[in-house]
Amino acid sequence: MRELMENPARAAEARHWHMRPVTSIWIDLIRRGQHAGALGKFDAEMFVFSFTGAIAHFYSAPTAAAAILSIAGSAEVVGRYRSWLADGTLAMLRGYSH
């Protein structure tokens, strides 16, 4: 993440993005769910990109998150984050529409 923020020219010249295949599959699955009526209408690409970024950001700094949020330690932060992520994402995917 730091590389992307501090070196946008290098990112612009990248020839291969390792997350592209995973991202494409995830977007396709969401769109299928939307088409089937199982998921609300929302921008699947922006959801996947922002969701992936949130996970990367969080897992890169659990010690800082624990300190900022006044939580006893990294293990508790990670456990709570996993629970929040699962519950919040399911709620958003099932009920979100614009």
44-77 tens-digit pLDDT:
998 888 888 888 777 778 888 888 889 888 888 8
What average pLDDT does the segment 29-58 reach?
87
Give pLDDT, residue 24. 92
In the chain, the number of structural domains is: 1
Does the pLDDT value for residue 98 go beyond 60?
no
Confidence at residue 96, expressed as pLDDT on a 0 to 100 scale: 59
Owning domain of residue 69: 2-95
Q: Read off the amino acid at residue 63.
A: T
- Distance in angstroms (rounded) separating the CA atoms of residues 65 and 12: 30
Residue 72 tokens, joined? 């006893």
pTM: 0.64
